Amino acid sequence: MAEFVSVEVADQIATIRLDRPKMNALNGQAQREIDEAARLVDADSQVQAVILYGGEKVFAAGVDIKEMADMSYADMSTHSRTLQACFTSVSQIGKPVIAAITGYALGGGCELALCADFRVAGESAKLGQPEILLGLIPGAGGSQRLPRLIGPARAKDLIFTGRHVPAAEALALGLVDRVVPDEQVYTAALEWAATFVGGPAVALRAAKQAVDQGLEVDLDTGLEIERLQFSGLFATEDARIGMRAFMDKARPKFTGE
């Protein structure tokens, strides 16, 4: 039984819930539990969308500095692989993932939110990559995922200064996708996640892989990734259901097969 990370599934939506008082600092155990939770929801065919949530007060204030403070270079050269691997597992969940951000999402917390497909933030939320203020740089994907999301110059501004970005600015930067009243964050994420339930699960996974993998390669290679994913979907029952429903002017009832 995990101590700091739980998975709750209702109506085919899984919520990966962080719960390590007071600020959801992501120590090594929490990182391993996030990895396990991500793999669990990815493998569960009954789950069609995922929410990352830290609770009503805080998303995650970062990686546990107290745990890292006495680590040597040799220690961190090993641990950093585990750190990145847990976030990569979240980014590779083959279903729509929405981060529901309340309070602080800083450092590792911001990096975890970057692993989601979409981000909903409360009006008083603050995001940022303050590692530079510790004489460090982001180590769980921030220097790579952030510029891919908001562009290199804007990412450098946040990484070089370590400043905390309020929700309204985060929305303008493209760092979050929606801003809602604090008390509505989880509900808004749940409503968004519900729009994917009943959809063509195999096609959604293919779409996510095509976009994410395409961002890492040149255009010609990306087009080939798209072509292979597109062609492969013609072997699915959902594609037959969808195209037949279109021709019959009916609403498709996808099976996820």
Q: What is the mean predicted confidence (pLDDT) over 152-156?
A: 97
Number of CB atoms found within 10 A of residue 234's CB: 9
Task: Quote the pLDDT of residue 233.
Answer: 93
Q: Which of 8, 131, 169, 226 is catalytic?
A: 131
The answer, yes or no, to whether residue 255 has pLDDT greater than 80, is: yes
The answer, yes or no, to whether residue 1 has pLDDT greater than 80, is: no
Task: Quote the pLDDT of residue 200.
Answer: 94
Q: Which of 111, 123, 191, 216 is catalytic?
A: 111
The answer, yes or no, to whether residue 94 has pLDDT greater than 80, is: yes
Q: Does 93 or 72 have the greater pLDDT score?
A: 93
Using pLDDT thresholds of 50, 70 and 90, give the confidence band for residue 69.
Answer: confident
Q: Is the peptide bond before 66 cis (omega within 30 degrees of 0)?
A: no
Q: Is 131 a catalytic residue?
A: yes
Q: Which residues contact 103 (CB under 8 A, 6 or more apart)?
A: 54, 57, 58, 59, 122, 124, 125, 126
* CA angle at 190 for the pair 166 and 242, rounded to the nearest 5°: 120
Q: What is the mean predicted confidence (pLDDT) over 225-243?
A: 94
Alpha-carbon distance of 123 to 101, in angstroms, equals 10
Alpha-carbon distance of 171 to 90, in angstroms, equals 22
CATH homologous superfamily for the domain 201-247: Lyase 2-enoyl-coa Hydratase, Chain  A, domain 2 (1.10.12.10)
Domain edges within the chain: 5-194, 201-247
Q: What is the 8-class DSSP label of residue 184?
A: G
Q: Is 33 a catalytic residue?
A: no
Lowest mean pLDDT among 52-61, 76-85, 101-110: 76-85
10 Å CB burial of residue 163 (0-12, 13-18, 19+) is middle
Task: Quote the pLDDT of residue 62.
Answer: 87
Task: Quote the pLDDT of residue 207.
Answer: 96
Q: What is the mean predicted confidence (pLDDT) over 135-141?
A: 94
DSSP β-bridge partners for residue 99: 52, 119
> How is domain 5-194 classified at the architecture level of CATH?
Alpha-Beta Complex (3.90)
pTM: 0.94
Task: Decide if 5-194 and 201-247 have a common fold.
Answer: no
Share of the chain above pLDDT 70, in %: 100
Task: Quote the pLDDT of residue 70.
Answer: 86
Q: What is the mean predicted confidence (pLDDT) over 143-158?
A: 97
Lowest mean pLDDT among 1-5, 45-49, 53-57: 1-5
In whole numbers, what is the pLDDT of the chain averaged over residues? 95
The answer, yes or no, to whether residue 11 has pLDDT greater than 80, is: yes
Q: What is the mean predicted confidence (pLDDT) over 237-247?
A: 92
Task: Quote the pLDDT of residue 257.
Answer: 86
Using pLDDT thresholds of 50, 70 and 90, give the confidence band for residue 149.
Answer: very high
Alpha-carbon distance of 71 to 133, in angstroms, equals 18
